[in-house]
């Protein structure tokens, strides 16, 4: 079952894993050491992130290294951009309204 990207990034541990592997590809064992959890627990998080295509595995000898998939995150960021502009517009309108109220109270 393919996971939803929102479910994937909702978990703080998965966000931390993404932050780590954005800097350097890691094996599940290396991730487990950084988070003081079992490899099995890390593997569950990896599975969710991989199903969302936020990370990509790369076999190197007997080890599998997981890399951050910046392209997938960029797709997500582009989708969010449409909302970000709307939020900024609304915040600017709120700032203007508050400034107007403040000026009226100072008169």
Residues 6+ away with beta carbon under 8 Å from 31: 17, 20, 21, 42, 46, 66
Identify whether residues 81 and 34 lie together within a single domain: no
Number of folded domains in the chain? 2
Does the pLDDT value for residue 81 go beyond 60? yes
21 band by pLDDT with thresholds 50, 70 and 90: very high
Does the pLDDT value for residue 71 go beyond 70? yes
CATH number where 56 lies = 1.10.10.10
pTM of the model: 0.74
Identify whether residues 50 and 79 lie together within a single domain: no
Identify whether residues 46 and 59 lie together within a single domain: yes
Does the pLDDT value for residue 37 go beyond 90? no
Identify whether residues 15 and 55 lie together within a single domain: yes
41-50, 69-78, 97-106: range with highest mean pLDDT: 41-50
- 55, HSE (Cβ side, Cα atoms, 13 Å): 31
Q: Which domain holds residue 8?
A: 1-68
């Amino acid at each position: 079952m393919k996971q939803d990207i929102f479910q994937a990034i909702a978990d703080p541990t998965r966000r931390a894993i993404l932050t780590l592997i954005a800097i350097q590809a890691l094996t599940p064992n290396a991730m487990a050491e950084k988070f003081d959890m079992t490899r099995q627990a890390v593997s569950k998080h990896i599975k969710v992130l991989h199903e969302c295509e936020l990370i990509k595995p790369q076999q190197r000898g007997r080890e599998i290294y997981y890399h951050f998939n910046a392209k997938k995150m960029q797709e997500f960021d582009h989708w969010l951009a449409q909302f970000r502009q709307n939020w900024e517009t609304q915040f600017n309108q709120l700032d203007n309204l508050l400034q107007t109220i403040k000026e009226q109270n100072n008169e």
